[in-house]
Amino acid sequence: MRNLQVVEIKGEPYEIGYALGELARPVFADYMAQSSAWRAVSRWRGASFVAALRDAARVHFPALLTELEGMAAGLRWPVEDVLLWNCRGELIHHVPDGCTTLAAIGADARLIAHNEDGDPFLRERCVLVDVQPIGKPGFVSFYYPGSLPGHTFAANRAGLVQTINNLRIRTPTVGVPRMILARAVLDAGSLDEALHTLRTAPAASGFHHTLGCTGDPRVFSVEATAQRCSVQSVGTRAGHANHMIHAGCETQAQIVTESSRDRQLRVDALLRAAAGPLNGDALLAMLHDRAAAGLPVYRDDPSDPDDENTLATALFEIGNAGVSMQVVRDGQRVFDTFIPRTAPQSASSSSAAILHK
């Protein structure tokens, strides 16, 4: 098992997007050719709803739309098609982006662990990107070819950790596409700033965000949807799959797949049964669970009913000086690093090193 590749990208938004597109170009056409999601999304070409999503993104996060335009140039794909692909959560319900997240808070540690579940075609075709925008903290993120970083798992140099779970919202509306909103969170310099972004930007559909930050004892579970932004503080432990579970979500139309239901029930049971404080090994074991009853937390079945497999598992330990980040794939650690915290005000003049172990 080879280590997960890390690609450093610096510059202005268009330059960053172009580099991301270049990085994805060798696999992107084949990825799209086999994707049933792309075939469904591509039917939205020329739709007024897509134009309205683009306009909302330009109003609220113009730099990120520029990043997306640069990505299209790097991919050598039409901008309209790359925008469509990055709005897939607003355009189709059954997007093959799954995931399960666990969070635990102890006396001395805050832990966030995450299974990144996606299209099995992407196994061994994803990388980590170390993105360093001018004037922003910069971040390290798992990168799907042709998708803005941020909708998977990431940590930025302000010490902010974000993991994302797909929510299948039945009633999207005009607003900021969820993948652009998740990318915007990675520019935040604090946990409160990240929450402000999610609470104030009009979401077009919805994601679940787990958020924690260096220097802040809190960890939050956030269901940010077109209808509302529900923020819950994690007490000692919490888990989330791919449907809304916060109180009050019953009034919102969503799809709950069999896999998401079974994974939520299983992680809830595992968290209840675990005695004492949870450590990183315990969370990783839960995310690699293959319980006989129901569909498993760890997903490697070619016949998975949601067409998703676990591509990587991430473990973040949030400390006072920065974030320890590990990535495990097929039971083996393929990435292990410490990302020192850099004060947001100094991020534009100096980038903190990533110290690989």
Count Cβ atoms below 10 Å from residue 287 Cβ, excluding itself.
Answer: 24
Determine what percent of the chain falls in helix, strand and coil, rounding each to the nearest 5. Answer: 35, 30, 35
Amino acid at 330: D
The conformation of residue 47, written as its DSSP 8-state character, comes to -
The predicted pLDDT at position 292 comes to 72
Tell me the C-alpha distance between 265 and 262, whole Å.
Answer: 5
Query: Which residue ranges make up each domain of the chain?
Result: 93-356
Residue 305 φ/ψ region, left for φ over 0, alpha for ψ in the -120 to 50 degree band, beta for the rest: alpha
Tell me the C-alpha distance between 109 and 60, whole Å.
Answer: 35
Under 8 Å CB-to-CB from 241, ≥6 apart: which residues? Answer: 98, 99, 100, 165, 259, 260, 261, 263, 264, 267
Per residue of the chain (357 residues), what is the pLDDT tens digit?
A: 578 999 999 999 999 999 999 999 999 999 999 999 999 999 999 999 999 999 999 999 999 999 999 999 999 999 999 999 999 999 998 777 789 999 999 877 899 999 999 999 999 999 999 999 999 999 999 999 999 999 999 999 999 999 999 999 999 999 999 999 999 999 999 999 999 999 999 999 999 999 999 999 999 999 999 999 999 999 999 999 999 999 989 889 999 999 999 999 999 999 999 988 899 999 999 999 998 789 999 999 988 999 999 999 999 999 999 999 999 998 899 999 999 998 564 443 334 445 444
Tell me the C-alpha distance between 61 and 67, whole Å.
Answer: 10
Under 8 Å CB-to-CB from 338, ≥6 apart: which residues? Answer: 322, 323, 324, 325, 354, 355, 357
Distances (CA, A) of 13 to 98, 116, 130, 211, 293: 28, 26, 14, 24, 47
Q: At what angle do helices 79-86 and 48-60 cross, to 10 degrees?
A: 80
Tell me the C-alpha distance between 161 and 41, whole Å.
Answer: 30
The predicted pLDDT at position 342 comes to 86
Domain 93-356: what homologous superfamily?
A: Penicillin V Acylase; Chain A (3.60.60.10)
CB 354 within 8 A of CB 21: no
